Amino acid sequence: MSDIKKKSVLLIGGGGVGAIAALNLELGGLATVTVVLRSNFNAVNDKGYQIDSCDHGVVKNWKPSHVLNSVPNITTERLPPYDYIILTTKNCPDVPPSVASLVGPALPASNTHTVLVLIQNGLNIEKPFLASHPNTLVLSGVSLIGSAEPEHGVVVQEDKDRLLIGAFENPNISDEVKKTKAEEFVHIYGAGGKTDVKHSQNVEYDRWRKLVYNACLNPICAITGLDTGRIRLADGGVEGLVRPAMREIVEAAKKKGVDLGGDEVVDWMIEVDALELYLQPSMLMDVNKGNFIEFENLLGEPLREGQAIGVPMPTVQVLYQLAKAIQWRTKEKRGLVDIPKKKKAGE
Amino acid sequence: MSDIKKKSVLLIGGGGVGAIAALNLELGGLATVTVVLRSNFNAVNDKGYQIDSCDHGVVKNWKPSHVLNSVPNITTERLPPYDYIILTTKNCPDVPPSVASLVGPALPASNTHTVLVLIQNGLNIEKPFLASHPNTLVLSGVSLIGSAEPEHGVVVQEDKDRLLIGAFENPNISDEVKKTKAEEFVHIYGAGGKTDVKHSQNVEYDRWRKLVYNACLNPICAITGLDTGRIRLADGGVEGLVRPAMREIVEAAKKKGVDLGGDEVVDWMIEVDALELYLQPSMLMDVNKGNFIEFENLLGEPLREGQAIGVPMPTVQVLYQLAKAIQWRTKEKRGLVDIPKKKKAGE
């Protein structure tokens, strides 16, 4: 197949998840991928990625078709619009710049051609784009991959790439277009035959379901410093923290019309990671690395949704407030907030 | 005054609080103090304490009358019973040995002579002694001192020694004896003239009042890693965490018949440490040092008291569960719990 028929993809954020997505898309042969990198740009631009993947095997010095260190301005550079822009960055709306402003140079406000694919966690992540890009189709990507980038350019994928793709609601776009474009993306992404990518008819369900894990285990592990195995072994970890939090999320979803199935989903999510793997959820890894955490989309949004319709969420509420304080600590360490000068006792 | 008239005091736990108590008692001239030390025994036994105290000035190489590295067994060593045993150790009932077993060798179960003084925080700390030593008078010591031991034998006291002494309830001891003994201890402790020691008629009030700080700011700072200044500056730190937790404690106290005065006490406790001092509460220091935390007496007991009489305490409940998980983390690090061996993905 010639390059002419390939779809042009701009992938922003080539870490553990993004690198595997880029590799998979290019191996499928239906896409030409431009990857935008920040902290790992030099490593990847010099030597490519060093990938050890349960889906694709060991791949040395692999480079996507194009590697950039910033999002291209398609207007000033007179570039054709991309067919797809995939966002696989972390998404922390409380820490500038916003993802909407990040993607801005490659996605004019009036865009109708480019399809935006958000392979990011949490709730309401499409809302900023509905405001800034009202006629852009936004696809939800819920990824269940287990992949990390332990050092710049080195990617280790230990758990299969499973991806649920479906269109976010948008009153300005017909259901027909939503369906066609979602199926097209699934086709391109699945062309390599190594991934489990599916078209989902129910984006809200996918996202709430993943939140049962992400709004609960993620912050509880991050706050206590325990991994998913240890929190299950710790005194009261499951019955005092994880289960009450998960039940609040399931209840909020239910009141929003998303029936996740009650305690079965809670039990399933508690045990989804084998205990003896002692896995560190992303938020715990971020805290350990001194990185910002995605607590607003993972915790804040479901909390606000649930509270707005009267669901009591006392556990998630306290976890949210603690996560917010921990985020402030990182902001202070990075010089984003000023505090009064320290005095000595008696001064 | 000759030594014959002095009271014999066994003080267990000569850290920041205990060292100043021992110094103050000996400077007062009415007590002969034997101090039992553990981790800092060698430092103090070799060179004495190096003290920099806002109450007593700079005191170099000071040694109490006797220094021991374990609690003496007064039965096998045929020693006379002490007039007072003061406990200034940390008190973690979830980590053996219990304070009741620690003090045991110096305090026979049948004791009626020795008065036990608990200069320790939290609620219901006298209960184990009511069971094991039913005829021992136990005095409550609520200390507001600011004193720390940054290295073994080095004590820095930055904030005045203020101590509230009063008898715990005990149906086997008359109110007259309780009053006399409490006043006697206040007299001995206050003899040096440098401290603010008072006889308190309402031990429950003293303890619940201090919990407004200790059950809230202490764990919130320990969990978030922020000091008392920074938690006030952090997004939502006060309104989302500190104030709701403090209100729950005030409400629990109220339902228990202890009227702390509503929001005034909450405001007062939030602002009691000058923001610009950026003070680390003891529990935060303990977490940073990898020490066990006193979460059961500070958080667990007021929570159980409040919940038993139907007070909703959602914030304190989550803080308690998180503190328990953090304590488990320390237990695992110290080899007190065994966990299954780690597997690799795919094993």
Q: Which of chain B's residues have a Cβ under 8 Å away from the Cβ of A236?
A: 321, 324-325
Residue type for B86, please? I
Name the residue of chain A whose CA is nearest to B276's CA. Answer: A342
Decide which of B146 and A265 is more confident: A265
- A162-167 and A196-199 strand pairing: parallel
Q: How many A-B residue pairs are in contact by the CB < 8 A criterion?
A: 139
Would you say B332 and A227 are in contact if contact means Cβ atoms under 8 Å apart?
Answer: no
- Tell me the nearest-neighbour CA distance from A74 into chain B, angstroms: 38
**Beta strands of chain A (E only): which ranges?**
7-12, 31-36, 49-53, 57-62, 66-68, 84-87, 115-119, 138-143, 146-151, 154-159, 162-167, 196-199
Of residues B235, B276, B328, nearest to A343 (C-beta): B276
Which residue from B196, B188, B306 is spatially nearest to B250, judged by alpha carbons? Answer: B306
Q: Which of chain A's residues have a Cβ under 8 Å away from the Cβ of B338?
A: none
Q: Is A339 exposed, middle or buried (0-12, 13-18, 19+ CB in 10 A)?
A: middle
Separation of alpha carbons A305 and A320, rounded Å: 13
Residue B275 is given by DSSP the state: G
A345 in contact with chain B, both atoms CB, cutoff 8 A: yes
A231 in contact with chain B, both atoms CB, cutoff 8 A: yes
Of residues A275, A325, A343, nearest to B236 (C-beta): A325
Question: pLDDT (tens digit, 0 to 9) for every residue of chain B, 347 residues total?
Answer: 444 589 999 999 999 999 999 999 999 999 999 999 999 999 999 999 999 999 999 999 999 999 999 999 999 999 999 999 999 999 999 999 999 999 999 999 999 999 999 999 999 999 999 999 999 999 999 998 888 899 999 999 988 999 999 999 999 999 999 999 999 999 999 999 999 999 999 999 999 999 999 999 999 999 999 999 999 999 999 999 999 999 999 999 999 999 999 899 999 999 998 899 999 999 999 999 999 999 999 999 999 999 999 999 999 999 999 999 999 999 999 999 999 999 987 67
Name the residue of chain A whose CA is nearest to B341's CA. Answer: A276
Which residue from B96, B125, B128 is spatially nearest to B211, judged by alpha carbons? Answer: B125
- Tell me the nearest-neighbour CA distance from B177 into chain A, angstroms: 40
With H, G, I as helix, E, B as strand and everything else as coil, classify residue A239.
helix
Per residue in A108-133, pLDDT (tens digit) is 999 999 999 999 999 999 999 999 99
Which residue from B300, B305, B295 is spatially nearest to B317, judged by alpha carbons? Answer: B300
Strand partners, B116: B85, B138
Q: Which of B147, B224, B242 to mutate to test the interface with A (most CBs of A within 10 A)?
A: B224
Whether residue A3 is predicted with pLDDT greater than 60 in this model: the reply is no
With H, G, I as helix, E, B as strand and everything else as coil, classify residue A204.
helix
- Tell me the nearest-neighbour CA distance from A187 into chain B, angstroms: 28
The 8 Å CB, 24+ separation contacts for B144-150 are B144/B210, B145/B16, B145/B17, B145/B20, B146/A345, B146/B279, B147/B16, B147/B17, B147/B19, B147/B20, B147/B53, B148/B16, B148/B285, B149/B15, B149/B16, B149/B19, B149/B40
Q: Is the peptide bond before B97 cis (omega within 30 degrees of 0)?
A: yes
Residues near B184 by Cβ (< 8 Å), separated by ≥ 6?
none
Cβ of A234 within 8 Å of Cβ of B277? The answer is no
Cβ of A326 within 8 Å of Cβ of B275? The answer is no
Which residue from A230, A223, A228, A252 is spatially nearest to A318, judged by alpha carbons? Answer: A223
Separation of alpha carbons A117 and A82, rounded Å: 12
Strand partners, A119: A141
Q: Which of B231, B303, B322, B330 to mutate to test the interface with A (most CBs of A within 10 A)?
A: B322
Whether residue A172 is predicted with pLDDT greater than 90 in this model: the reply is yes
- Mean pLDDT for chain A overall: 95
- Tell me the nearest-neighbour CA distance from B15 into chain A, angstroms: 20
Separation of alpha carbons A173 and A113, rounded Å: 12
With H, G, I as helix, E, B as strand and everything else as coil, classify residue B261.
coil
Of residues A54, A318, A346, nearest to B318 (C-beta): A318
Separation of alpha carbons B27 and B24, rounded Å: 5
Cα B132 versus chain centre, distance: 20
Residues near A243 by Cβ (< 8 Å), separated by ≥ 6?
A266, A270
Cβ neighbours of B71 (radius 10 Å): 18
Q: How far is CA B159 from CA A346, B88, B200, B273, in A?
A: 9, 17, 21, 11
A144 in contact with chain B, both atoms CB, cutoff 8 A: no
Whether residue A38 is predicted with pLDDT greater than 50 in this model: the reply is yes
Cα A185 versus chain centre, distance: 18
**Residues 260-289, chain B: which have Cβ within 8 Å of A?**
274-278
Cβ of A339 within 8 Å of Cβ of B229? The answer is yes
Q: Which of B235, B239, B318, B324 to mutate to test the interface with A (most CBs of A within 10 A)?
A: B318
Whether residue A1 is predicted with pLDDT greater than 60 in this model: the reply is no
Separation of alpha carbons A301 and A215, rounded Å: 10
Of residues B230, B240, B344, nearest to A339 (C-beta): B230
For residue A184, the surrounding DSSP H or E stretch is: helix A175-190
Q: Which domains does chain A have, with CATH numbers?
A: 3-201 (3.40.50.720), 206-333 (1.10.1040.10)
The order of strands in the sheet holding A49-53 is A57-62, A49-53, A154-159, A146-151
Cβ of A346 within 8 Å of Cβ of B158? The answer is yes
Cβ of B317 within 8 Å of Cβ of A314? The answer is yes
Strand partners, B62: B49
A321 in contact with chain B, both atoms CB, cutoff 8 A: yes
pLDDT of amino acid B1: 47
Residue type for A179, please? K
Which residue from B318, B333, B295 is spatially nearest to A216, judged by alpha carbons? Answer: B318
Separation of alpha carbons B298 and B291, rounded Å: 16
Q: Which of chain A's residues have a Cβ under 8 Å away from the Cβ of B329?
A: 224-226, 230, 234
Per residue in A190-207, pLDDT (tens digit) is 999 999 999 999 999 999
Residue A100 is given by DSSP the state: H
Of residues A54, A241, A327, nearest to B322 (C-beta): A241
Of residues B274, B275, B328, nearest to A234 (C-beta): B328
Separation of alpha carbons B128 and B111, rounded Å: 15
**Residues 56-85, chain B: which have Cβ within 8 Å of A?**
none
B241 in contact with chain A, both atoms CB, cutoff 8 A: yes
Mean pLDDT of A318-344: 96
Residues near A271 by Cβ (< 8 Å), separated by ≥ 6?
none
